Chains A and B, each alone.
Chain A
């Protein structure tokens, strides 16, 4: 089955710095890669996703890049703010297959004011 590795497990940055979280996947058939943000006391929420026919996607201060050859994808957050502090999860799944998404173990991002 699919295996998703996520690094780092914790990331501490100063406000205004950039943050990068990386994930690798094992199943070359995976073609949908969502990212979720989990704030304290809440469930994970989708913040951005990318499909395998696209190499990069941006939404204001966040962006996701995908390298299908290397089987890795990354979340980039620019100009970090304290409200970006949360746990971030990457996931991978494949359309037309079993559908079940596989999650990374999560990254705890701390943005210091």
Chain B
């Protein structure tokens, strides 16, 4: 089954404790991206990647890191989480093609930083 898999689904942590949220897709998509969703703010892009070893900042990259060592995986790293990073996070992927391919989203990771 074609899918984007995120882990974990729920995560509670404390300020400053490094964490990684994993994302994997099995559709051979070139493009992968991370979003955070907050009430009233919609989906805001954190980082994206157009292909292996190619990453770039989105609209809200501060406090986050990513890597794209393999085509299928795109982990999101919070080196020193803070309470303002409490949010619902989504990974998404798509073909690039002509730029008119829809995004496939994972089911989300709800992160709470205390």
Tell which of A14-22, A44-52, A74-82 binds the partner: A44-52
| Of A36, A41, A44, A106, most B-chain CB atoms within 10 Å | A44
Task: Mark contacts of B44-60 with chain A using CB atoms, 8 A cut-off: 1 yes-contact digit, 0 otherwise.
Answer: 01001010000000100
Number of residue pairs A-B, CB distance < 8 angstroms: 57
Tally B residues with Cβ within 8 Å of A: 22
Contacts A43-B108, A45-B105, A100-B48 hold; do A89 and B43 have CB atoms under 8 A apart?
yes
Majority-rule SS of A interface residues:
loop
A-B interface, 6 closest residue pairs, ranked by CB to CB distance from nearest: A43-B105, A105-B42, A95-B99, A32-B100, A46-B102, A99-B99
**Residue positions of B touching A, CB distance < 8 A:** 4, 31, 40-43, 45, 48, 50, 58, 90, 92, 96, 98-100, 102-103, 105-108
